[in-house]
Structure 1
Amino acid sequence: MSHPHMALDAFERQATDVANVLRALANERRLMILCKLVEWGEANVTTLADAVGLSQSALSQHLARMRDEGIVATRRESQTIWYRIADPRVGQLFNTLYQLYCTAPGAAAGD
């Protein structure tokens, strides 16, 4: 016999996980970073910093927060570190957000 509280516990854990991800995403610059990663697949710090108008230091802080949450992952190629979206669920979410909001200004659905 299944226990409804066990299902509720799992549901609460999932809600907590989603809330943590959404908190990590609740920043305009992090949203811009992820839009660029959806567009490009992966990018290095220099390219991302130029694209979103941040210093490399500020960008690195945002990337570290998202890496800690499992949102982005890295790979090293010689001296360069490349970033990409790591969590496929975040990738799906951002593909949708990209289509709705990361296109040309004024091109959002309903405009």
Structure 2
Amino acid sequence: MNQASPNLAGMRAAAGQACGLLRALANEDRLLLLCQLSQGERSVSELEETVGIRQPTLSQQLGVLRKEGLVATRRDGKRIHYSVADANALAVLATLYQRFCPKEG
């Protein structure tokens, strides 16, 4: 029996998860939303204001992020708050921020 098979199966599963995350990040609106959420929980109206994405597109992109398991929601009355729910996403976002976002100062 080939000793590499179990390891290869694990690597293939991990590659599938990584591809799912990268697909979600490969959209400018979703990436901007996740960048905002990486700084802390935000309501839909806060996201709309800070990112400048109009409501229909915002809802669509948040739905994709929810479906992928990258964000969590919390309801407070009529307001829905979002936060990043995936530690891997936070790690990738931190790296992207470090490499691509302008330094202040």
Query: TM-score when scaled to structure 2?
Result: 0.88
- 1:59-74 equivalences under 5 Å are 59-74=58-73
Structure 1 unpaired stretches of 5+:
none
2:81 alignment partner, SS class: strand
Q: Give the corresponding residue for 1:25.
A: 25
Measured against aligned partners, the alpha-carbon deviations of 1:85-109 in whole angstroms (never above 9, x if no partner) come to 0001111221222233344xxx39x
2:53 alignment partner, SS class: coil
Q: Give the corresponding residue for 1:86.
A: 85
Measured against aligned partners, the alpha-carbon deviations of 1:60-86 in whole angstroms (never above 9, x if no partner) come to 110110111111111111111100000
Per the TM alignment, residue 10 of structure 1 is displaced from its structure 2 partner at its CA by: 1.2
Query: In angstroms, what is the RMSD of aligned CA positions?
Result: 1.9
Letter in 1 for 2:24: A
2:69 alignment partner, SS class: coil
- Structure 1 window deviating more from structure 2 (2-11 vs 42-51): it is 2-11
Q: How many residues align?
A: 104
Query: TM-score when scaled to structure 1?
Result: 0.83
Q: Give the corresponding residue for 1:50.
A: 49
Q: Give the corresponding residue for 1:76.
A: 75
Contact 1:24/1:65 (<8 A) preserved: yes
1:54 alignment partner, SS class: coil
- 1:1-16 equivalences under 5 Å are 3-16=3-16
Per the TM alignment, residue 56 of structure 1 is displaced from its structure 2 partner at its CA by: 1.4
Per the TM alignment, residue 2 of structure 1 is displaced from its structure 2 partner at its CA by: 8.3
Q: Give the corresponding residue for 1:101.
A: 100
Per the TM alignment, residue 3 of structure 1 is displaced from its structure 2 partner at its CA by: 3.7
Letter in 2 for 1:27: N
